Each structure stands twice: as structure tokens, then as C-alpha cells.
Amino acid sequence: MEYTILRTGDAGLDEVLRGGLPEGNMYLMQGPPGSGKTTFALQFLRQGLADGERALYVSLSQTEDELRRIAASHGWTLDGIEIVELVSETPASTDTQAIFLTSDLRLDRTRELVEKAVLDHEPHRLVYDSLLEVRLLTGDEQRFQRELIGLRSFLYERGITTLLLDVEPTGQPLNDIQSRGIVHGILTLDKHLPEFGRARRRLEVAKMRGVAVYDGWHDVDIRPGEGLKVFPRIVPEYRADDDGDMGETLIRSGLQGLDEIFGGGMEPGTTTMVVGQAGTGKSTMASLYAAAALERGEDVALFLFEERVETFFRRSEGLGMDLRQYHAEGRLRLHDFNPDEISAGEFGKMVQKEANSDRLRVVVIDSFTGYMSSLANHRQALFDIQSLLKYLSRRNVLTILVVAEQGLLGNRSGVALDLSFLGDTVLLLRMLEREGRIRREIVAVKKRHGPHLLDVRELVIESGQVSIREGE
């Protein structure tokens, strides 16, 4: 059976829903205060207007002025959206379409006003805000369910796609949870305030009849001017469109000594972890692969969590690598941001977008330690990065993760998790005192694909050049 799919107002959520919401059904969006329900409801209706549909917002919980202020905070206008406000400080009257929210309010009066608003405006899309007020008016769970079933029948007969807003279900009676079986789909929003940093939001499609959605939690953010944005978690088996072989062409660094360590170069579609304490040359190693790829005519994406863009350029220039020209041409894409301002889902979406470029060959995350340290749930982030690395592998991209070790001797990583299994190749850098001076040493401790040397060699970083010498 074919049915029309409606865009929701957010491309990320449309992706999670495999296109959008099936038309003519009733959906429930639930979540705690501040999770983004009202913001998304306005997006949903604005998308309807953009698609040539009539839109109606029936509010039992917020005034029209409050809704317009929310819209204005994003630079939006609600022109074209009909707003029926069923909240007032004056007694009910059929002229003002207002109700007096007191304990003795009759539920049938609310129903009459809602139905009248629908008949008057004949919307294609309807937002009903919120079920909490209806639940308080009924005072009885069975009556609440009957009211919801009656509303569904009334709206279904008219082919109206309806979004109901409600509070989070946590701690509610079992019967109330069962009443959620009445709706066609359920979108659950969650908001978490970590010990440090800003609030984190996420969304789950808890139910969607007849649609094989991307299940699980997806990161969400609320952006001024954009509203609620959903960042679908990466599911490689669904999303990757390139399952090709690695191929025979190795990815080289341009530094002969480094390529020799890895048997000629790195295999495409693999992940290399560059591990070492501060000052050992980790970022320099990553820059070598980036510069070599750019010189070959390939594209590179760098994600900088600790180093500023200008610092990156100056450090590279000091080693004889002029990368500014490639950045100006758009072939070197640099992403510099505060780790606290980005979620794991958004980061994954950014990397995935870069990986979909046909010419992209190398991705560098510098530092992976800084990225992981900024996230509240390290184990969840580790699960997400596994999916991301698998996606990049299927795109035949070489991914370089810069992993910092703590302490002068660097005896452990900066993240309290074992990350070694993420790398197909592990390059270890360290500093040792020998004959009255500090020396850098380099060794390949792991390579899953192909041969590699186990010799410990000296890494020399001097003004204008990088070299690798035989160990003494």
C-alpha cells in the first residue's frame, strides 16, 4: 500500500524515519521540559506551509504570544500558521475560543473548541499542545483513553496528520503507558545535564508502525535559527554505499623512512593510531600523510580539537609543508571547534559528510583524546566511533587518530578506556634521555594488514624537515 510521506522540518529526523512521517496519522512527541518539543512542533508546521499545506496549532498550555516569542528566537515567523489558544484568564465563551483552566472545567467544552478549530481551519497538519492538560481534565485514565481514541477517529476521518505533545512517561502509571498504543508513532526526546558543560539532548523513535526506522538514540541539538536538529547515529550496514575492496595502492607519507616502517605505506580503508606523550611529533606524523595526499591531488579533512587552525598552518610551515594553498582551494578541509560544543552524533555526521566526497583520501582526528575527554559518556562515544571508523573503512579512507598519553613518560592514554583495538595500525612515539639530550623514538607496534618493521628508530624533527634515522 502506497502512502504519502511528509517531511518533518528536520533533514536528520527525516533520515531516521526513512523519509518522514506517513501522512494522515496521529503521532506523539514526549519529553521533559526544555527538550525541544515546542520548537520541533513549530518546525513541523512551518515545513507544512513550505510544502503548500495548511497548518494549525491548538494550544492548551502556551499562549500565542509565547509561541511567537519562541519562533522569534530562531528568526522565524508564524505567519500562515493558524493558532487557536485555549488558555485564558477570562471565562469561556464561543466568541473568544478560550477556556478557563480550573479544576471544574468540563472536558466536553475543550473537545468542542478543538473540533470547531479543526472544522473552521481544515488543516493538513495539526499540533495539539498538550496531553498533560487533557489528562488533568479527565482525572480518570479510562476516560482519558476514550477521549484520545475519539480525537484520533475525528482527525483520521479528515486525513489530518497530527502531532501530540506530552511530558516524558517516566514514573507514569502503567495504564497511561498502555494508552500510547493508540497513536501511530512515538518520538521520545531526552535531556541530560552533565556535571560539567551544557545540556545534552537526544531522540529515539520509540514506535513507528510500518516503518523500519533507524532505531536507538540519536543526538539532538537546538540551534538558533535552525531549531531542533537530529544527528542520526551511523549504522554502516545501512548507510555505506561503497563496500569495495581496499585495493592495491598504498597510501604513503612522502617520508621514505616512515613508509619503510610500514612496508611501503598504509592500506586504504584502515585506521592508524599515532600514540605518544606531548612533544613526540604525533601531529607532525599526521600532517605528513595529509600533505602527501594533497600533493597527489587527493582531498584531506582534519578535525582539530586542541590546535587552532593558524597554529596548525605555522607548525606545518616550520617543517616545510605549505598547506594554506590547499585550504584556499577547498581541498584541505579544516574543522576547528570547542569539543564541548559538539555531540558525538554531530561529529559523526560531519565526518560522514566529508567521507562521501569522492576525492577524500585521508581523515585526521587531532586529538582523539581531546574529543573523547569532552564527552560525558566515554563508553557510548567509543561505540559511536567504532561505527564511524567502519563507515570510513568502507569508503576506503585512511583514518589517523592522534592519541595523547599522560605524564612525562606517557605511560597511559588520556582516556580511561582501552582504545588499542580501534587501530589497524599503531605507531608509537616516545622521548628518551640519551647521552645528555632528549631523543624521539618511533616504532610500529601493530599492523593488521601487510608487513611492518619492528625496529626502533630515531625521529628527528628539525626546522624545515623531518627525518627518520636507524637506531643506535
**Tens digit of pLDDT for each residue in 429-442?**
998 887 778 889 99
Residue 220's pLDDT band (cuts 50, 70, 90): very high
The C-alpha atoms of residue 406 and residue 415 are separated, in whole angstroms, by: 9
Alpha-carbon torsion (233, 238, 240, 241), positive or negative: negative
User: Which of 369, 250, 365 has the alpha carbon at shortest distance from 300?
Assistant: 365
Residues 445 and 359 in one domain: yes
All three cell numbers of 360: 577524500
Out of 232, 248, 272, pick the residue that ends a domain.
232
- Looking at the fold, whether 333 and 419 belong to one and the same domain comes out as yes
Q: Is the pLDDT assigned to residue 459 strictly greater than 60? A: yes
pLDDT above 90 covers a percentage of the chain that reads 57
**Given this model, what pLDDT does residue 243 score?**
47
The string of pLDDT tens digits covering residues 52-93 is 999 999 999 899 999 999 999 999 999 999 999 986 433 444
**Residues 67 and 202 occupy one common structural domain:** yes
CB burial class (10 A; 0-12, 13-18, 19+) of residue 121?
A: middle
Q: How many CB atoms lie within 10 A of CB 458?
A: 17
Domain-ending residue, one of 232, 249, 275: 232
pLDDT at 98 over 50: no
pLDDT of residue 330: 94
Same structural domain, 313 and 244:
yes
Same domain? For 317 and 349 the reply is yes
- Which residues touch 187 (CB under 8 Å, ≥6 apart)? 13, 27, 28, 29, 30, 203, 204, 205, 206
CATH number at 168 reads 3.40.50.300
Any idea of the CA torsion for 187, 380, 425, 285, to the nearest 10 degrees? 90
Give the distance from CA 203 to its chain's centroid.
10
**Last residue in a domain, options 215, 232, 249:** 232
> Residue 178 has what pLDDT?
52
395 and 367 assigned to the same domain: yes
Q: Are residues 224 and 252 in the same domain?
A: no
155-208 per-position pLDDT tens digit: 999 999 999 999 876 555 444 555 678 999 999 999 988 777 778 899 999 999
Name 462's bridge partners: 465
19 and 107, same domain (yes or no):
yes
Give the count of domains, the chain: 2
Residues, the chain, total? 472
Do residue 243 and residue 209 come from a single domain?
Answer: no
If pLDDT is split at 50, 70 and 90, which confidence band does 252 have?
very high
- pLDDT tens sequence across 103-149: 444 678 888 999 999 999 999 999 999 898 888 888 778 888 889 99
More confident residue, 243 or 339: 339
Torsion of CA 115, 52, 187, 217, to 10 degrees: -170
Q: Are 221 and 57 in contact (CB under 8 A)?
A: no
In this structure, the answer to whether residues 250 and 223 fall within a common structural domain is no
Q: What is the rounded distance in angstroms from the CA atom of residue 54 to the CA atom of residue 48?
A: 7
* First-to-final CA distance of the chain: 74
| pLDDT higher than threshold 70 for residue 472 | no
* Residue 23: count of CB within 10 angstroms of its CB: 15
Residue 88 DSSP class: B
Residue 104: the pLDDT is 41
* Mean pLDDT (the chain, rounded): 85
Positive or negative torsion for Cα 47, 48, 52, 54: negative
Q: Which is it for strands 81-85 and 55-59: parallel, antiparallel or unpaired?
A: parallel
* Same domain for 221 and 123: yes
* Domain limits for position 141: 5-232
* Residues contacting residue 301 through CB under 8 Å, at least 6 positions apart: 333, 335, 351, 354, 355, 360, 362, 363, 364
Same domain, 38 and 151: yes
What band does 305 get if pLDDT is binned at 50, 70 and 90?
confident
